[in-house]
Structure 1
C-alpha cells in the first residue's frame, strides 16, 4: 500500500436507494488519483451517500464501486486506506482525545503522530478532554486532525469545517495544502463554502438530485462562466443562442451569466457593442447550475434530505 500518489475512484452505474428515496441515480464517475477534488452539491444531492459508499460503510443498491481498482466492501487491503471524516468526525465519545488518537492511529497505516500533534496544538485541543465535552467547532477540528494525520491514500472530508470560525477554517485549508504538497494523496473535499475552498480544488464534481451534473477540472470549469454586462438590447443580442444561466436587470442595464468559453471573435464583438465581460466565481456558477428552476428533477429524488 502506498500513499504517495493516492488512489483513484470509479463509480459504474451506481444507484443508492433508501426506501422510496433515490440518493444516487445511475452515477458514472471517475476521480483522478493524486488530486484534490471538490464534491459539491446542495443538501440532498447525494454527497454523503457517495462518501459512505467509497468508505465501504454501505453497499450500493445497484452498480459497482471501485477504489484503487477494487471493490472496497470488506476489502482488507482497501478499507484501511480510506479515511472518511464527516462533520465532527467519527470518534469514541466516551474516551479522551488521546485515547481516540491511539485507537485511530492503529487503524491507519500511514498515520502521522507528528502531524497530529501539530494540528492538535494549532486548534488548541486538549488531549485530556472527551469529544462529548467539546464544542461543535472543537469536535470539527478534531475530525480534521484525524482526517489529515491519517494520510490515507483516499481521504474524504465531508463538511468537516462546520462549526469552525473563519480563522480556524483558513488554518485548516492551509494545513491541508501544505501536507498534501509533501504527502500527495487523493482528497475528496465536500463543502458548501465554495468561495473559500475554490483555491484548493483541482477537479470538481457537482451532484444534483443524485446525478452527476458536472465532472471536470476546476480550471476549465472556471473558464466556462462569463458575465456579460451592458445595455439590455445589446446583451440580449450577444447572448442569443448561448447557454444562459442567470439574468439581472437594473433600469436599462442587464447582466447575464452564460456558460461556454468565448472565442476571440466573440470578445471583439462584445467590446464593439460596448459590453463588459467578466469572470464568474465558481460559487456563482454552482448556484446557477443547480438552481431547481433550471435543473428540474423528479420528486422521488432526495430533495431536502441531507444525504
Structure 2
C-alpha cells in the first residue's frame, strides 16, 4: 500500500508536533522511524492509523484518507508502548476482538505466540505485568498480518531475550509475507540491521529519509591528523567533527574506501549515532 504524506502539519494549541512534513513510503519495507522525544513520531503514527486528524496537509493511503475509513483502518494495526487494550478484558477476549476486526488475522500464529510468551488466556489485562502486556501487543501486531503494521516502542518491560525473540519472529513473518512495517524505537542499535529504510524526525520536521544500506555505505567517521582530515573533508558534507590532542574525527557523507586511500582511518557510523548527530544540528540533514 502506498503511503503519501503531503505537507502534514499537526498543532496542539501553541505546540507544533509536525511541521509541513512530506514524504512517500512506496512499497512494503521495514521502515525505521527515528527521532528524539517530542520529534513528532507518535503524532505521525496516530494520523497514519486514522486515530486523529491533521491540522493541515494530509496522509493518503492508496489515495484515501485513513481517518473514519473502516476499509483502511482494518488494514492498519498500531501497537503503542502501552494502553493498547481495555484493562477489564481477558487476554482471550482481546485476541477474539482483534480476530474479528482484521480480515488478515492469523489465529495459528496468535496461538503459537501465546505459548511462546507464556501468556495466560484467562488473565485480565489489568493483572498483566508491563512485559506481559507488551507481549500481548506484539502478538496482536504480528498476528494481525495488517498490510500496514506500526510498532511504537512495543516492548516496554521485556527483557533482552524476549526482545530478541520478537525481532526474530518479526523478520520470519516479514520474509514469509511482505508488509509495510513502521518501527519506532529508542533501542536503535538492537534493531537497526532490520531497517530497510530510515526516516528521522527532528522537532516536527523530516531531516532524513534514506535507504538503510545506502546510509551505511555513504556515511563514515574519518580520523587522522587535523590538517589531513581538514583537507580531505573540504567540499564534503559534514555531519559533525571533533578534535582531541592533534587529531580530528569527522563524521561525513562519504565513502570509507576513499578516506582509506588518503591514509586516513575510516569506519561506519552506527545509525543510532547518526541519528544523534543529525538531531543535534540546528538545520538537520
TM-score grouping bracket, smaller chain normalisation: over 0.9
Residue 295 of structure 1: which of 272, 282, 285 is its match? 282
- Which position in structure 1 is the counterpart of 2:241? 247
1:155 aligns with 2:144: no
1:284 aligns with 2:273: yes
1:29 aligns with 2:23: yes
Alpha-carbon shift at residue 296 of structure 1 (Å): 5.7
Alpha-carbon shift at residue 74 of structure 1 (Å): 1.4
Alpha-carbon shift at residue 125 of structure 1 (Å): 1.3
What pairs with 1:173-252 in structure 2 (closer than 5 Å)?
Answer: 173-252=167-246
- Which position in structure 1 is the counterpart of 2:59? 65
1:123 aligns with 2:107: no
Distance in structure 1 (CA, Å) of the matches to 2:150 and 2:214: 23
Point out which structure has higher relative CO (alpha carbons under 8 A, 6+ apart).
1
Answer whether contact 1:89 1:140 (CA < 8 A) is retained: no
Distance in structure 2 (CA, Å) of the matches to 1:83 and 1:257: 37
Answer whether contact 2:18 2:205 (CA < 8 A) is retained: yes
Distance in structure 1 (CA, Å) of the matches to 2:94 and 2:206: 36
Distance in structure 1 (CA, Å) of the matches to 2:28 and 2:255: 27
Alpha-carbon shift at residue 122 of structure 1 (Å): 1.4
Root mean square deviation, CA, Å: 1.6
Q: Deviations over 1:148-170 (max 9, x none)?
A: 10000111111102221111111
- Which position in structure 1 is the counterpart of 2:80? 86
Distance in structure 1 (CA, Å) of the matches to 2:187 and 2:227: 35
Count of residue pairs brought into register by the alignment: 284
Distance in structure 1 (CA, Å) of the matches to 2:249 and 2:120: 51
- Unaligned 5+ segments in structure 1 are 1-6, 298-307
Task: Write out the 4+ residue segments of structure 1 that deviate beyond 3 Å after TM superposition.
Answer: 260-264
SS of corresponding position for 1:39: strand
Distance in structure 2 (CA, Å) of the matches to 1:14 and 1:100: 33
Q: Deviations over 1:232-265 (max 9, x none)?
A: 222222223322222333323322211234675x
TM-score under structure 2 normalisation? 0.95
1:165 aligns with 2:144: no
